[in-house]
Structure 1
Amino acid sequence: MHKFSFVSYCVVTLVAVVLFSGETRTAEAVTCDVSELSPCMAAITSPKPPTTTCCSKLKEQRPCFCQYLKNPTIKQLVDSPKAKRIASTCGVEYPQC
């Protein structure tokens, strides 16, 4: 039984390492392109709730938010109360840059 626990521990550790490595590569592979947030425009310009696609794009573009906030043109869109509400609805933490 002790051998099974050790094997289980090794498998769980290996899975965690693989998942963590994949998450790191995904974060590095994100191309910061504000047009990727276009599925959220309906939620920003109307009272409609964000779509699943919008939420997926927000999560994907999350590493880019601080970069977007540094651009005065994009900041108006990303830093609006509606954008913050949409992020909250999608479960995406708003950055503290």
Structure 2
Amino acid sequence: MRDHRKHPRKPVELSLAFRIGDGPRVDARCRDISLGGMFIETASPAPFGATIEVLLSLSGLKQPAVIPSIVRWTTPEGMGVQFGVMGARETHALTELLGSL
């Protein structure tokens, strides 16, 4: 199977949360991440095409980053999301994280 991702993903173990719309915060784990997206391990994946907010603690940021994302695929174990537009601080913190992996 060929990988068509623009940004290669790196394996990682991170705690995070996500929210669908104004819904409740759902705690989950990240299995891999790139500048373009991540795989979120959760027993409650959002449906394909859903817009979610990923809440991720990143080094150098006082508050968790809130990253708008779109669900691009799902499995029984979780979902693959594509990140939307991030601010400069969030992008820098994510780039630093990826450089340390």
Whichever structure has more helix as a proportion of its residues is: 1
Report the TM-score, using the length of structure 1 for normalisation.
0.27
